[in-house]
Structure 1
Amino acid sequence: MPPTLHQPKGNPTLTAALRTLKRLQEKHNGVVEASDFKDDDQRAVLVDTGFLRQVMKGWYICSSPSDNDGDTTAWYASFWAFVSGYLGKRFGKRYCLNPEASLMLHTGNTTVPRQVTCVTIDSGTSTLNLPFDTSMLVYPDKNRVPTARVEVRGLQVWPVAEALCLAGPSFFANNPREAEIALATIRNASELLPTLLAGDKMVTAAGRLAAAFEFVKRPDETERIRKAFAQFKVALKLVNPFELAEPTISPCKERSPYVLRLRSMWAGWRQDVINVFPPAPDLENQRASYLAQVDERYVFDAYNSLSIEGYRVTDELIERVARGDWKPDGDPENDKTRNALAARGYYQAFQAVKGSIGKVLAKDNASLVVKRDHHDWYAELFGPSVTAGIIEASQLAGYRRGPIFIRNSMHTPLPSDAILDSLEALWDLLEAETEACVRAVLGHHLFVFIHPYYDGNGRIGRFLMNTLLASGGYPWTVIRMSRRDEYMKALEAASVKGQITPLAEFILQEMREWTPECEAKS
């Protein structure tokens, strides 16, 4: 995320340099070449003060002075902008990402890749070593740069249909989710046939795609490809490139790659969660004792949840806001106003969540409760900050309308124009799910995966998790600050590596801290 530019008093050199940087970051999306600066002294002072970070010789990205050398946030946030800016400046539009990279972009993959491959019309071959073990391979092959290129995220890429025809079997084996999504965006196999039948007929690729359509339960498309080749007396040998036991996306008319990804994640992961969690407890007629237990855990939960989000709070502060004897105006004991406002907001939101849990325990539909009430939780969470004038009231009215990045994560939250469709898909998945543990674990993760707000996503996600845990009688579970790194690694494993078991096991471990009798299934 571009840094907020301040004008330090008494430092005219840095002030002028920051004005130049602001203009350049708006023009080049945060990616800057040394030659963009008319004054080398300005570039030097921006590097020295941490507003610019070098990517490779002569190339820089905007960064924050608060970042340390090991902080990956600026680079992961700028990765695709850098690739786009570098390739655009060097080759114009005389290049194309290879078919596999093209498909990853088309299918809404949110992970920064270790390496991206670019094919050019005319250049030498080179490997650019980039920060944090990422790289870019560039090589010339004019026959692998299609005439009909399309643009995604400012990059020249293959159209989906052509990329599917050219992607090898390893793409389906190594990236099954992306392969399924790409196939789902193909309305009709006739989109593939011009490429499969052109010139030297791509018989092997045709057999692979016909088998892939058969695997994802679209036999009509399989037959269409068969018949097209049969006209030329070619009998296809169908070889299924997927190594999955069964598909994770059912045939549908949905075309949003982000919605398709959520559905695939849910279908592919739900059994993993069920395998980890014990059966849901029976809490019939225990509504009052359950809510009392939730109350007992407020102080510990608030301390840990706010600390995970980066706030520095104390037990004393939390207890004071819970008692209602803290006031934001004129309080001499509070020199950390923002932290105090966050604590007050957390208390108010906690009370709203407890009300939602009461509805769930009274047999209201849990999925509908969280769909309806999460807006109220968010409004309570940030209400005190709005009252104090720290944030605009408009921010409580809806979801974010711009990009956001998760600190030191290789996962990039969904673009803002995908949020509404993705959340609707999440509510539908919650509604259809029969297992409370699946609703809680996957509901929490996918909400944070979407990241619909500018701030507070983790807190709302954990509120959502606990409300859905209550729907199965599982206890309110606190994610402890002392295990923050493990928690973040588990979220990263799900978002980046496609592994949900570490997160499910982590949540169960934290749950068992409070209820030792809640043993994992053998």
Structure 2
Amino acid sequence: MFQELDKLFTKLKSLRPLSADSVKRLAEDFMIDFVYNSNAIEGNTLTLEETSLVLKEGLTIDKKPLSHHLEAVGHKEAYYYVEETVKEKQALSEQIIKNIHSLVLMGISSERGKYRSVPVIITGSNYTPSQPYEIPFKMEQLIDEYHTRMNEMHVVERIAAFHLKFESIHPFIDGNGRTGRLLMNLDLLSAGYPPINVKFQDTRRYYDSFKFYHENEGDPSKLVELVQEYVLEELKRYIAILEMAEKLNG
């Protein structure tokens, strides 16, 4: 199922790495694109260009809500925290998830890093998230499963399974989607893969994968398919960049 992906991953590892400056530049470009798309999925109105101006220049965009600026900045800090967590080889924990959420919700201090204490309904959804009293146990159970049963899965399957279960628990009052997509990249980066970017243009397909999961007895195949496409796309992109760099450097 993942033959092409595994072959490309092996090829990526065999290529000479880029210089530190090139890696930093690529990472920053990806981060801006990731922040834009992830926030746009949740209704943030900053365009890609505006997101770049906010994050790189510290500018305030006229007639755009302050909260949307804070979401961009918080998401950037959360992404850098994910990178640092990977560098330090920290094992995924509830505390890491709460730390990511705290940065994502930079502008809402009272809810940062705290499991919700009230029930929620997802408008237009076909499932009801976990009740507040269930969340601590279910999150503990999910982390344990991630380090045991899920650890034996292919990284693409693991990412999809974890993401679907995390979003189904919906542990926070807000910021679950953004936190969950950051956790996807934490797993990918930890496994040596490039990060992926769930595109705003794929919002319907992304949400349909949750609908399919809940209507088909927890079948994660639709999200597995989407994640695999994104990983393949990024592997091919990175390989092309590395091969071009090798040609230029002789």
Range of TM-score over shorter length = 0.7 to 0.9
1:59-98 equivalent positions in 2, closer than 5 A: none
2:51 aligned to which of 296, 300, 318: 318
Residues of 2 paired with 1:332 and 1:324: CA distance?
Answer: 11
**Corresponding residue for 1:378?**
101
**Corresponding residue for 1:341?**
70
Is the alpha carbon distance of 1:429 and 1:291 closer, same or farther for their aligned partners in structure 2, counting shifts above 3 Å? farther
CA deviations over 1:360-391 (Å, ceiling 9, x no partner): xxxx25xx2354322221111112x1xxxxx3
Looking at secondary structure, tell me which structure has more helix per residue.
Answer: 2
Q: Note the C-alpha offset of 1:439.
A: 2.8
The structure, 1 or 2, with the larger RCO (C-alpha pairs under 8 Å, 6+ apart) is 2
Residues of 2 paired with 1:464 and 1:291: CA distance?
Answer: 21
Consecutive unaligned residues of structure 1, counting only runs of 5 or more, are 1-274, 386-390
2:221 aligned to which of 501, 504, 508: 501
User: Aligned AA for 1:439?
Assistant: R
**Corresponding residue for 2:147?**
431
Whether the aligned pair in 2 keeps the contact of 1:477 and 1:510 (CA below 8 Å) is yes
Residues of 2 paired with 1:290 and 1:411: CA distance?
Answer: 41
Q: Note the C-alpha offset of 1:513.
A: 2.8
Greater gyration radius: 1
Is the alpha carbon distance of 1:504 and 1:401 closer, same or farther for their aligned partners in structure 2, counting shifts above 3 Å? same
Query: Identity of aligned pairs, percent?
Result: 24
**Corresponding residue for 1:463?**
182
Residues of 2 paired with 1:350 and 1:291: CA distance?
Answer: 14
SS in 2 for 1:321: helix
CA deviations over 1:380-413 (Å, ceiling 9, x no partner): 1112x1xxxxx3x331241000111222110111
Is the alpha carbon distance of 1:308 and 1:332 closer, same or farther for their aligned partners in structure 2, counting shifts above 3 Å? closer
Residues of 2 paired with 1:298 and 1:511: CA distance?
Answer: 16
1:53-452 equivalent positions in 2, closer than 5 A: 275-276=1-2, 278-279=5-6, 281-282=9-10, 283=13, 293-326=26-59, 333-359=62-88, 364=89, 368-383=91-106, 385=107, 391=108, 393-432=109-148, 433-435=151-153, 436-452=155-171
Q: Note the C-alpha offset of 1:444.
A: 1.4
Whether the aligned pair in 2 keeps the contact of 1:469 and 1:475 (CA below 8 Å) is yes
CA deviations over 1:247-274 (Å, ceiling 9, x no partner): xxxxxxxxxxxxxxxxxxxxxxxxxxxx
User: Aligned AA for 1:377?
Assistant: I
User: Aligned AA for 1:478?
Assistant: N
1:33-72 equivalent positions in 2, closer than 5 A: none
User: Aligned AA for 2:181?
Assistant: R
Residues of 2 paired with 1:304 and 1:335: CA distance?
Answer: 17
Is the alpha carbon distance of 1:291 and 1:371 closer, same or farther for their aligned partners in structure 2, counting shifts above 3 Å? farther
Whether the aligned pair in 2 keeps the contact of 1:306 and 1:343 (CA below 8 Å) is yes
Whether the aligned pair in 1 keeps the contact of 2:156 and 2:227 (CA below 8 Å) is no
**Corresponding residue for 1:172?**
none
Q: Note the C-alpha offset of 1:348.
A: 1.8
Is the alpha carbon distance of 1:291 and 1:469 closer, same or farther for their aligned partners in structure 2, counting shifts above 3 Å? farther
Q: CA RMSD in A?
A: 2.7
Q: Note the C-alpha offset of 1:318.
A: 1.3
Q: Note the C-alpha offset of 1:297.
A: 0.7
**Corresponding residue for 1:474?**
193
Q: How many residues align?
A: 227
Residues of 2 paired with 1:371 and 1:513: CA distance?
Answer: 30
SS in 2 for 1:516: helix
Are residue 490 (structure 1) and residue 209 (structure 2) matched? yes
Residues of 2 paired with 1:409 and 1:503: CA distance?
Answer: 16
Residues of 1 paired with 2:161 and 2:86: CA distance?
Answer: 18
CA deviations over 1:266-325 (Å, ceiling 9, x no partner): xxxxxxxxx457338354996967776443311211111111111111123211222252
Whether the aligned pair in 2 keeps the contact of 1:276 and 1:501 (CA below 8 Å) is no
User: Aligned AA for 2:121?
Assistant: F
Q: Note the C-alpha offset of 1:335.
A: 3.6
**Corresponding residue for 2:248?**
none
Residues of 2 paired with 1:286 and 1:431: CA distance?
Answer: 29
With normalisation by structure 2, the TM-score equals 0.80
Is the alpha carbon distance of 1:496 and 1:301 closer, same or farther for their aligned partners in structure 2, counting shifts above 3 Å? same
Q: Note the C-alpha offset of 1:501.
A: 0.9
With normalisation by structure 1, the TM-score equals 0.40
SS in 2 for 1:297: helix
Whether the aligned pair in 1 keeps the contact of 2:116 and 2:132 (CA below 8 Å) is yes
Q: Note the C-alpha offset of 1:517.
A: 7.7
User: Aligned AA for 2:226?
Assistant: F
Looking at secondary structure, tell me which structure has more strand per residue.
Answer: 1
Whether the aligned pair in 1 keeps the contact of 2:188 and 2:195 (CA below 8 Å) is yes
